[in-house]
Amino acid sequence: MPRDRAAANGAPAAPAPARPRERRTLTRADWIGTAVEALARDGLRAVAVEPLAERLGATKGSFYWHFRDRNALLQAAVEHWEATVIDESIARLEEIADPIERHNATVELLNGSPKDVKIFLVLLWNADHVVIAPAIERIVRKRMAYSQRLREQAGLTPDQAERSALHAYSVWLGLQLLRQAVPGAVPEDLSGETLSDYVAQLGRQAVGL
């Protein structure tokens, strides 16, 4: 006996409704990348389960499949940023043989990505956070150690190089903090390449290059 009226009348059966396309399974890297972008865009408060899940079109269950809690994601995101922006950058810079060229490349890199500057400042502003505190200490020490090595290779003694690195990094960091905290405090002509040139000049003077 026919199953439906269309079959009874000899008409072809209606095609079965198409299954909805399955959503791509999110990976741990998807969550980390989205957390880094949120950190740069809206700061620490944006790295939270619900807004990230909404941005990814995912459920909170997907999050908890990869991470124990928010702090676990935050730690993974910060460590990913540290490895790619700090560790890999320092490794590339140290391949440059000429100290002056390497110094200029360092300053250009520090100022070349507003996104990375913003992330670093967000970390600095939240240095009392249980996850961020050890990360910001590692990052600053890595940068300072690299800067000191650069100056020693340029001929300074270890003590001179340490003081010079501290001076140059303090200038750069102070300018960045002023630009973020008090818009307009840093003259407009100290931006982009001009800011890089200015910091590079101060650094070379401190090093004696």
Which pLDDT value is given to residue 138? 97
CATH fold label, 79-207: Tetracycline Repressor; domain 2 (1.10.357)
Which pLDDT value is given to residue 176? 83
Which pLDDT value is given to residue 148? 92
| Contact between 132 and 124 (Cβ < 8 Å) | no
Q: Could you tell me the residue ranges of all domains in the chain?
A: 79-207
pTM recorded for the entire structure: 0.77
Which pLDDT value is given to residue 21? 36
DSSP notation for 55-102: HHT--HHHHHHH-SSHHHHHHHHHHHHIIIIIIHHHHHHTT--SHHHH
Which pLDDT value is given to residue 116? 93
The token duo for 5 is 């009226």
Residue keyed to tokens 């300018």: 175
Which pLDDT value is given to residue 17? 45
Which pLDDT value is given to residue 114? 86
Residue ranges of the chain whose pLDDT lies below 50: 1-9, 11-22, 192
